[in-house]
Amino acid sequence: MKLAGETEAVIIGIIASGIRLATPVLFAGLGEKIAERSGILNLGIEGMMLMGAFGGFIGTYFTGNYVIGILLAMASAGILAVLKGFLSITIRTNQLAAGLAIWLLGTGLAALLYRLTFGVRTAAPSVELMPKIDIPGLSNLPGIGPILFNHDPLVYIGFLLVPLTYIFIFKTNLGLKIRTVGENPKQADALGVNVYKIRYLAVIVGGALAGIGGAYYSLVQTGYFLENVTGGAGWIALALVIFGRWKSQWILVGALIFGMVDAFQLGLQALGTTLPYQFLLMLPYLIPIAVLVGLYKRTGAPAALATPYVRGER
């Protein structure tokens, strides 16, 4: 009975951890979905997440207020999103090249700004981890309590965004404009839709959500800002959008798969498995690759994805 109880505790711990580990890539994936629905492929999402991690950290560090930290994270990533929009929408550079440039810029800029702000210290500056929400009567429920009702606020916000982004894209006039611009920008323009404005809006919203995902690492998971603290989560988010076929509910499923696998490998490391730890670290990233290989012929991407639009061009 004791062994069964310990096994149950381990399983509950892995599931709860998996939900938390899924949250940052869920934010980023939902943001990327909105950008790609408008026809903009944003390979710079990893750099935006790192800027979000930095912005969230310094905002919280200097004010002690998590809300200010999150807002600064959104603004920091949003600035890079504006630059991405300028490169891809206004001057119409290659979207792949522009995205890679934003990734490199965000990676280097976040590290540089951190060094300029704090200098070199023997003890790294830190913030208190964002506290979990204790829901009376629910958090202590056996099994389901720790899994569903014992998380930080960003977990609940991230999951709430799944239906909200679905409603936004498929049930609102603005969402219809975003989808039309992503499928047929010429037709959208002919109907009076400002293609450039809609694409800018989608990219900025996507960047802001990626910034929240980045802030999750510094404010919830570590309490520090570290170079490359996101660990490639932006690239996972890009894969999740394809896995989810640009639909919020399936992006959530993909994020949960990634989170559970990541939690599982962390659990195996803690138990002292004989498997090489390098293989375990690689495991969460192998799963999306395997899924993408199976789905590459059934993507259903927006027709005008990564295609620049020039008004009046035939």
Per the structure, the complete domain to which residue 146 belongs is given by: 2-120+142-295
User: Residue 3: is its pLDDT beyond 50?
Assistant: no
96/78 Cα distance (integer angstroms): 19
d(CA 139, CA 147): 9
Mean pLDDT for 234-251 is 93
Residue 309 placed within a domain: no
What is the sign of the dihedral through the CA atoms of 18, 20, 21 and 24?
Answer: positive
Domain membership of residue 127 (yes or no) is: no
pLDDT of residue 295: 61
The pLDDT, as a whole number, for residue 136 is 83
In a domain, 126, yes or no: no
Owner of token pair 């996507």 = 206
Taking the model in full, what pTM does it have?
0.93
Is 132 inside a domain boundary?
A: no
CA 48 to chain centre: 9
Question: Which whole number is the average pLDDT over 6-35?
Answer: 92
Query: Is 125 part of a structural domain of the chain?
Result: no
Decide if pLDDT at 272 tops 70.
Answer: no
- Assess if residue 303 is contained within a domain: no
Q: How much is the average pLDDT of 172-180?
A: 97
Mean pLDDT for 12-20 is 93
146 is a domain residue: yes
Number of domain units in the chain:
1
Residue 311 in domain: no
Average pLDDT over residues 35-43: 97
CA max distance for the chain: 73
Q: pLDDT tens digits for 108-136? A: 999 999 999 999 888 899 999 999 998 88
Q: What is the pLDDT of residue 120?
A: 84
Domain harbouring 60, CATH code: 1.10.3470.10
